[in-house]
Each structure stands twice: as C-alpha cells, then as structure tokens.
C-alpha cells in the first residue's frame, strides 16, 4: 500500500508491541514518512507525551509498505520506563526522523558486528544491509546474562554468531573482546568492525582491533537534546576535532574517538536521572527493581 508521507493521520501509533525481556520492548510505530526514507544507521527521537524528554533510538527495522518503523527500547530511566509501559494502540506524542547520517554500505569482505546489550538491536539493520551488499557477516553478541540477550535468532540468520555473557548463562563466559581476540588468534580477523553497545565496551573493542589495523566504527550515544545539529550538547571528539553525533554521526571511526571524554559527558545528568526515576517508581509499580 502506498502511504501519503505528508499525512498526519494516525501518526506515531503503536501498531504492535512485544516485550522481549523484562526491561526490553519492541515497538512497531506508524510513521510513513520515516519508513519511506529510513536507511541503516538512521535514528529517530521519541517523545512519549507533552512535557516528555526527547529520547534518541536507532531504527531496528522499517517497512515502507506498512508505513511502520521498529524500535527497541530498554527501560533505563523514567522516560524509557514510561515508554515501555505503553500498550499496543497507544501513541507516542512525537517520533522525529529519520535523523543522523546513515552508514556507508559497501563491500568489505567479512564484516564483524560487535553488539552489547540493547546495542544488538541497533547492530541488526547494519549487519542486514552489509549482508545484502554481499558481505560475510560474523557477530559477537554480548550481554550481562541470558535474559538480556536479544535478537540472537535474527542475527544468526545473517551469519555466524558468537555469544558471550558476563555470568556464562548463555554462550561463553567473558567479554566480547575475548571473543574478538580469539578470532584474531585463529587468523579469522575481519575486514571491518561495527560496534554498538556500552561506551566502555566500544572503547575496548577499538583497542582490540587497533593493533590489527582493522577499520572499526562505533555508534556513539552522547547526551542528545534536539538531534538536529542545533545545540551541540552531543558533541564528541573525533580525531581531536569536535563533531555533532546527531548530524555527523552517530557512527564514527572508533580509532579516532575520544571515549574517555564521552564517558565523562554522558554522566552529566546521572543525579537528576536517578532522582526522576525514583519519583516515577514511587508512583508506579516498579518493573525494573530499583534498590
């Protein structure tokens, strides 16, 4: 069906919602313009309601035919917890996008995807696009435990997967970088690496691939406000120069990225975020086990 991408009818409605784990939900949203223009690596900014925060999330999937886009949200703070409490048929007040610069899709040979936690959801469309471009896909999927491991089956359809968990409840016990080092040691080093996950994980992925000079790209997730290149709040340092993750990224050369600065800047609002979540949890039955 051909949708009018300029229509506001039924915009941002949750067409389908699936809980993937206790804290992670998949939302399929009606947004025909975004669905028609989306490419791998694009993100959207969600707002649950008036007064709500602008939350950036990478697109996991999209269907121009259905006029829908798919996002996966992990309940971390108040806003994401509130979003995951939405039911099918509810509507977000805003879904802006597609935003950012899509990844350049080309033939590398073997592409290694290294995803951590909910970052695996963001890795999926990129791996899929590279697969379609004729690359061989190998993925290392890391999670704290089996319950937080997502999209294992979908990623396995694209190529070999190696699972690591912190507690050994699925796959190998250990870190994604252990699995990377094993690959290099076995002479199976990839031609390019794409990594999405916690900053500290991406930092170590970049360190592990540096001696092998494998081109490595990381999807950065700084504190973001407008997402349109207007505020500079999401500035990151790439090769010693400031870049705006929202319009220049979010994918950057990981070997050029100042991860330590990113770690410091993402901690800016931790106090307020915790405070806000605690207030919210007091008023609602808490789903995420605050201590």
Partner 1 sequence: MENKPKKPTPSIKQNLGRHQDPLARRSNFDEVALGFGPEEALTEAARCLGCKTKPCELACPVNVKIPEFIDLLYKEDTGAAASKIFETSLFPAICGRVCPQETYCEAACVLKDKFGPVSIGRLERFTADYARNNGLITPPPCAPDTDKKVACVGSGPTSLAVAAELRKLGHAVTVFEALHEFGGVLSYGIPTFRLPREVVRFEVDMLRRMGVRFLKNVLVGKSLTIEELKKDFDIIYIGSGAGLPSPMNAPGEDLVGVYSSNEFLTRINLMGAYKFPENDTPYYIGEKVVVVGGGNTAMDSARCAQRLGPKSVTLLYRRTRAEMPARGEEVENAMEEGINFEFLTAPVELEGDEQGRLKRVKCVRMALGEPDASGRRKPLPQPGSEFYIEADSLVVAIGQSPNPVIQQTTPGLSANKWGGIIVDEATAKTSLDGIYAGGDVVRGGATVLLAMKDGKAAARAIHEKLSAGTK
Residues that bind partner 1 (CB under 8 A): 6, 8, 33-34, 37, 45, 47, 51-54, 78-79, 93-100, 225-233, 235, 237, 242, 247, 261, 264-265, 267-269, 272-273, 275-276, 279
Two tokens, residue 79: 């806003």
Residues 6+ apart with CB under 8 A from 211: none
CA distance 109 to 137: 9
Is the Cβ of residue 125 or residue 142 nearer to partner 1 in the bound state?
125
Q: Residue 238 CB, nearest distance to partner 1 (Å)?
A: 12
Q: Residue 12 CB, nearest distance to partner 1 (Å)?
A: 9
Is the Cβ of residue 85 or residue 247 nearer to partner 1 in the bound state?
247
Q: What is the radius of gyration, based on Cα positions, of the chain?
A: 19
Q: Is the peptide bond before 108 cis (omega within 30 degrees of 0)?
A: no
DSSP alpha helices (H): ranges in the chain? Answer: 32-37, 78-84, 119-132, 152-156, 176-185, 199-209, 245-248, 259-266, 270-283
Q: Residue 52 CB, nearest distance to partner 1 (Å)?
A: 5
Q: Residue 116 CB, nearest distance to partner 1 (Å)?
A: 23
Counted residue by residue, the chain has a size of: 291
Is the Cβ of residue 33 or residue 175 nearer to partner 1 in the bound state?
33
Q: Residue 100 CB, nearest distance to partner 1 (Å)?
A: 7
Strand order in the sheet with 24-30: 14-19, 24-30, 68-74, 61-63
Is the Cβ of residue 11 or residue 254 nearer to partner 1 in the bound state?
11
Is the Cβ of residue 125 or residue 171 nearer to partner 1 in the bound state?
125
Is the Cβ of residue 188 or residue 279 nearer to partner 1 in the bound state?
279
Q: Residue 4 CB, nearest distance to partner 1 (Å)?
A: 10
Helix 199-209 vs helix 176-185: angle between axes, to the nearest 10 degrees?
Answer: 10
Contact 118, 198 (CB under 8 A): no
């Amino acid at each position: 069906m051909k949708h009018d991408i300029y229509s506001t009818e039924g915009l941002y409605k949750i067409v389908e919602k699936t809980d993937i784990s206790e804290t992670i939900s998949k939302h399929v949203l009606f947004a025909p313009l975004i669905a028609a223009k989306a490419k791998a690596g694009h993100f959207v900014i969600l707002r649950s309601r008036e007064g709500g925060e602008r939350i950036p999330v990478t697109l996991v999937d999209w269907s121009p035919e259905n006029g829908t886009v798919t996002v996966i949200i992990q309940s971390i703070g108040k806003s994401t917890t509130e979003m995951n409490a939405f039911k099918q048929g509810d509507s977000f007040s805003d879904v802006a996008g597609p935003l950012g610069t899509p990844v350049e899709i080309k033939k590398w040979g073997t592409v290694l995807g290294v995803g951590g936690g909910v970052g695996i959801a963001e890795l999926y469309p990129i791996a899929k696009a590279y697969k379609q471009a004729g690359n061989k896909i190998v993925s290392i999927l890391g999670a704290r435990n089996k319950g937080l491991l997502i999209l294992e089956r979908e990623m396995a359809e694209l190529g070999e997967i190696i699972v690591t968990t912190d507690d050994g409840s699925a796959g190998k016990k250990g870190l994604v970088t252990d699995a990377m080092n094993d690959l290099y040691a076995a002479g199976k080093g990839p031609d390019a690496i794409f990594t999405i996950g916690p900053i500290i994980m991406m930092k170590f992925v970049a360190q592990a691939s540096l001696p092998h000079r494998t081109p490595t790209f990381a999807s950065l997730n700084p504190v973001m406000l407008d997402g349109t290149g207007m505020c500079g709040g999401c500035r990151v340092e790439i090769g010693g120069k400031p870049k705006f993750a929202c319009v220049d990224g979010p994918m950057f050369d990981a070997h050029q990225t100042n991860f330590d600065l990113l770690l410091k800047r993402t901690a800016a609002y931790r106090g307020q975020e915790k405070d806000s979540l605690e207030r919210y949890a007091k008023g609602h039955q808490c789903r995420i086990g605050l201590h």
